[in-house]
Homo-oligomer: A and B are copies of this chain.
């Protein structure tokens, strides 16, 4: 069994009004040292398999095909064998 942690974030060229709003809230609450907030999505996926290579290919495929919009987002992931 594998646990996969996927982080999806907006490309740096894409505007992030949600992150900007959170940053302004932080400044209002006196966290002035914070200079940037970028928002994204996070997924934890469990895959029942014993084949490391198959899991790696599957994760890449579901990230590309289902979880991410490649026009505006990028992803990173880590695979943990349980």
Interface, chain A (partner B; CB < 8 A):
5, 7-9, 19, 22, 25-26, 29, 31, 33-49, 54, 58, 61-62, 65-67
Whether A7 touches B5, Cβ cut-off 8 Å, given contacts A34-B45, A35-B46, A40-B44, is yes
Kindly report how many copies of this chain are found in the complex they form together: 2
* 6 further A-B pairs in the complex, CB-CB below 8 A; given A34-B47, A36-B44, A38-B43: A5-B7, A22-B66, A36-B46, A38-B45, A40-B44, A42-B42
B41 touches A42 (CB 8 A): yes
Cα(A25)–Cα(B66), bound, Å: 8
Closest 4 CB pairs of A and B: A40-B42, A36-B46, A42-B42, A38-B44
